[in-house]
């Protein structure tokens, strides 16, 4: 099925090399500058057995007619519309006029009694929802008599001024403990699962070692207070009966209000698309693991994921979230069945801008008293968390996000309210060079609502990692309080991930935290070497940090060397490391290509622990000189006053591969949708099956860019991934099978033969592309080249395990292993 828009004549009309320049003519003075870079991937969601979320994007009504809208812009026809999202909401902007959350002295009031007690003269009052046994949501409206005599009165919504006036009167009512405005709140992935090798974020937080201590307990319930959940074979066996607590019929989108069906009906994005946010979050917490299917979750055991739907087609409201926290923790919500499986952990990957809420704090405190631990997202606006709700509430664990290198992600909020950091991903990067975005991979429906998997980024993705780790800790000691858990997470965190802006105690260390919860951390035990990744990727001269851990007692002594034919181009900050018990240190790795000719190269870092503490190898992939990649095309689309899609004449240009896919353009100030594509099919068309396609912010979260006169908007950088329709998938090579010729290994496959590979070994080079599911990239001969090898769960004796006869599962030092001769 072909979905494309041609860019006829673009190469003859668009900018040539050097045309991305800053002109000084008079017209430029009225423009703003946008700069950034594109990150093309050879592999994308389709290579992970997941249909690209772009398919839903391309299926939007009217998308195929856009070529008529943009034909006047340099003859370029290539803009796809998702709709222009609304601005991020603030408390003031998101006020729900007339809606007031009231906490009464008397518990158990009926709807009629609550309305009668909180009535304000001159206003019509409607009981909207029960939030607990003392908290209610009431809506105040203005009654207006009909102009015609005898007509029935009508009602209208309050203005903001009227709302403030009514709120002050309600606060003065006898029997009312507190009242505050209701506001809108918005939504903020060693098992045998074949996509586990794509989940770099688990090794990043030392989770494989934590699983050796335990994979969770079915008695520790984790609530996902979010958009609800969808049916997914990697989740269904772990999901408890949940609740839909969206009180607004319009926002619920399912034809009714509060009910017992927490199914996520989607349609929550500004363009009418669906994020299925709660399903992705739930998958990180508890996708069924070691089941040979899809991805792994942080926790593995039991039917204990509790979906609580509070975010609908219009986001969520403070009132509904209060009800969600109360119900999830086992508290009473009048008119709703009691939760018979109260959550010990509540994940809230959601938030808004504004001060802390008194009534939210009341619900949090009550949930804490029932034994629940709340883990919340810091937010994704790259601002201080002083004004980030609910991160600025008390008695919560607020989580910021790091990227692959352990540093704060560009979008993550920061500040003194942040307690710890966790992997949230950065989908515009591929710092491990596996050919896939450095996002968080988890469960998600595809565009036809079939179960699939996709990479997301955000503090929303970081938060469920911590919620899952807390569940692992409670499985070791269920008596731990919220204060105990927070103290352990902070004390055991990786301090190298702290930042000057405010990243709390640093990146969580799952193994150290779970071990502490178990009462372990014996300093007399022998040291044990562990690393966070087996692969690093560089372009040109650059540096990255590798985290080296001691997952044992005593002091770990590690010797470090660089090997392989290209070892002279790679240097390390130290050839010997000393790592204290249950701590980590950073090893800086620098690539200096020198006189190497343009091309792709590999070397290897060998880490050897003293006194049998273990060994590990890290593949270093680096590219020198200009890429032989094809150029990309970037476009800036907007809606005109009539709501029609247009393209700024200056906002469509070639982005040269030879320039590292960096761009800088001057465009007219307005809000834009930024998109790009590479013509991989060579047919002269863009945005078609087989082409790489991307959008700002990424293919799962389309946002607008505001361009301001005389200002530069920088780092508008995003990923381009191969696009395929849901019904069109290219077969991938078979990895690990016996073979005699390349043709027996499938498309793009290579057969390794000889005495080193008994019976032959199907593989493929992983120098420039990602390995298929269930395999990973390893150096075979000390840094001369690299191939895809089947991943496996290693034992202490490197036995055959799940590998075929003649091969053994060799540990890679990062919690996984590879089937090698």
Burial class (CB in 10 A: 0-12, 13-18, 19+), 767: middle
Q: Estimate the share of the chain in helix, then strand, then coil, as percent rounded to the nearest 5.
A: 20, 30, 50
Residues 6+ apart with CB under 8 A from 662: 35, 36, 37, 655
Burial class (CB in 10 A: 0-12, 13-18, 19+), 263: middle
Give bridge partners of residue 377 from the DSSP assignment. 399
Report the alpha-carbon distance of residue 146 to residue 156 in Å, rounded.
12
Q: Are 740 and 752 in contact (CB under 8 A)?
A: no
- DSSP result, 712-758: EE----EEEEE---TT--------S---SSGGGG-TT-EEE-STTST
Return d(Cα 211, Cα 299) in angstroms, integer.
9
Pairs from 704-707 (Cβ < 8 Å, separation ≥ 24): 704/84, 704/85, 704/671, 704/672, 704/673, 705/34, 705/636, 705/671, 705/672, 705/673, 705/674, 706/670, 706/671, 707/31, 707/32, 707/33, 707/34, 707/667, 707/668, 707/669, 707/670, 707/671, 707/672
Alpha carbon 341 to chain centroid, angstroms: 28
Our answer to whether residue 244 is catalytic in this structure is: no
- 70: phi then psi, degrees, rounded to nearest 5: -115, 15
Residue 35 CA to residue 563 CA, distance in Å, equals 38
Report residue 673 as tokens. Answer: 């949708």
Catalytic-residue membership of 277: yes
What are φ and ψ of residue 422, in 5° steps?
-150, 170
- Exactly one of 412, 460, 537, 725 is catalytic; which is it? 460
The strand pairing partners of 731, in sequence order, are none
Structure tokens at 617: 């190898």
Catalytic member of 226, 434, 679, 812: 226
- Return the ∠ at Cα 477 (arms to 476 and 480), rounded to 5°: 140
Single out the catalytic residue among 91, 201, 277, 280: 277
Q: Classify residue 501 as exposed, middle or buried by CB count within 10 Å of its CB (0-12, 13-18, 19+).
A: middle
Catalogue the E-assigned strands of 564-684.
Answer: 570-572, 576-579, 584-591, 599-609, 614-624, 632-639, 645-655, 662-667, 671-678
Active site residue 595: no
Catalytic residues: 226, 277, 460
């Amino acid at each position: 099925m072909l979905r494309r828009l041609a860019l006829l004549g673009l190469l003859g009309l668009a900018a040539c090399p050097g045309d991305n320049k800053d002109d000084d003519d008079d017209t430029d003075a009225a423009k703003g500058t946008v700069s950034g870079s594109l990150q093309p991937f050879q592999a994308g969601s389709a290579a992970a057995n997941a249909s690209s979320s772009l398919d839903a994007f391309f299926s939007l009504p009217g998308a195929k007619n856009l070529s008529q809208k943009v034909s006047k812009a340099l003859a370029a026809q290539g803009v796809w519309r998702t709709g222009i999202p609304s601005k991020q909401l603030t408390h003031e902007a998101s006020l729900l006029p007339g809606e007031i959350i009231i906490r009464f002295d008397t518990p158990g009031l009926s709807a009629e009694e609550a309305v009668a007690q909180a009535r304000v003269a001159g206003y019509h009052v409607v009981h909207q929802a029960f939030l607990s046994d003392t908290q209610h949501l009431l809506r105040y409206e203005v009654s207006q008599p009909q102009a015609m005599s005898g007509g029935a009165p009508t009602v209208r919504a309050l203005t903001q001024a009227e709302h403030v006036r009514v709120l002050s009167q309600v606060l003065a009512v006898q029997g009312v403990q507190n009242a505050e405005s209701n506001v809108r709140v918005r939504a903020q992935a060693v098992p045998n699962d074949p996509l586990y090798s794509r989940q770099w974020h688990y090794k990043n937080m030392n989770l494989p070692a934590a699983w050796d201590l335990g994979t969770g307990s079915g008695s520790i319930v984790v609530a996902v207070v979010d958009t609800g959940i969808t049916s997914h074979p990697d989740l269904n066996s772990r999901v408890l009966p949940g609740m839909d607590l969206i009180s607004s019929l319009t926002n619920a989108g399912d034809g009714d209000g509060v009910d017992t069906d927490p199914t996520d009906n989607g349609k929550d994005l500004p363009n009418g698309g669906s994020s299925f946010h709660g399903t992705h979050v739930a998958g990180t917490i508890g996708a069924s693991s070691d089941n040979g299917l899809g991805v792994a979750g942080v926790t593995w055991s039991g039917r204990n994921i509790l979906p609580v739907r509070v975010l609908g087609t219009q986001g969520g409201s403070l009132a509904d979230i209060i009800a969600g926290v109360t119900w999830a923790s086992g508290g009473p919500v009048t008119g709703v069945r009691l939760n018979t499986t109260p959550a010990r952990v509540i994940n809230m990957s959601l938030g808004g801008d504004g001060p802390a809420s008194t009534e939210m704090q009341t619900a949090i405190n009550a949930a804490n008293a029932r034994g629940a631990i709340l883990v919340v997202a810091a937010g994704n606006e790259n601002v201080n968390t002083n004004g980030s709700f609910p991160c600025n509430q008390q008695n919560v664990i607020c989580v910021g996000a790091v990227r692959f290198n352990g540093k704060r992600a560009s979008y993550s909020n920061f500040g003194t309210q942040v307690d710890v950091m966790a992997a949230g991903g950065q989908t515009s990067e591929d710092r491990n060079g596996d050919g896939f975005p450095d996002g968080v991979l988890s469960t998600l429906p595809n565009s036809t609502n079939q179960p699939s998997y996709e990479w997301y980024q955000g503090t929303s993705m970081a938060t469920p990692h911590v919620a899952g780790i807390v569940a692992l800790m409670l499985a070791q000691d269920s008596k731990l309080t919220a204060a105990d858990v927070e103290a352990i997470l902070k004390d055991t965190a990786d301090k190298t991930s702290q930042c000057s802006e405010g990243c709390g105690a640093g990146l969580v260390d799952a193994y150290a935290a779970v071990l502490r919860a178990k009462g372990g951390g014996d300093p007399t035990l022998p040291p044990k070497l562990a690393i966070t990744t087996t692969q690093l990727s560089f372009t040109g001269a650059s540096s990255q940090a590798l985290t080296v851990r001691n997952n044992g007692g005593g002091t770990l002594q590690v010797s470090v060397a660089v090997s392989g034919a290209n070892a002279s181009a790679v240097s390390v900050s130290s050839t010997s490391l000393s790592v204290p018990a249950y701590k980590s240190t950073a090893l800086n790795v620098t690539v200096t290509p020198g006189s190497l000719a343009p091309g792709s190269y590999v070397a290897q870092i060998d880490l050897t622990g003293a006194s049998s503490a273990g060994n590990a190898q890290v593949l270093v992939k680096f590219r020198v000189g200009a890429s032989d990649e094809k150029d990309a095309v970037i476009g800036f689309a907007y809606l005109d006053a009539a709501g029609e899609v247009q393209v700024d004449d200056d906002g469509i240009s070639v982005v040269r591969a030879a320039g590292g896919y960096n761009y800088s353009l001057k465009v007219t100030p307005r809000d834009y949708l930024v998109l790009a594509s590479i013509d991989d099919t060579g047919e002269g068309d863009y945005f078609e099956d087989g082409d790489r396609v991307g959008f700002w912010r990424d293919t799962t979260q389309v946002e607008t860019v505001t361009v301001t006169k005389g200002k530069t908007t920088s780092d508008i950088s995003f990923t381009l991934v191969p696009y395929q329709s849901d019904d069109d998938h290219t077969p991938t090579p078979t990895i690990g099978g016996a073979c005699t010729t390349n043709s027996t290994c499938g498309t793009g496959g290579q057969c390794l033969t000889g005495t080193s590979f008994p019976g032959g070994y199907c593989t493929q080079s992983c120098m420039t592309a990602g390995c298929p599911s269930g395999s990973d990239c390893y150096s075979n001969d000390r840094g001369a080249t690299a191939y895809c090898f089947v991943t496996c769960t290693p034992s202490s004796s490197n036995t055959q395990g799940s590998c075929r006869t003649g091969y053994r599962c060799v540990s890679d030092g990062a919690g996984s292993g590879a089937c090698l001769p």
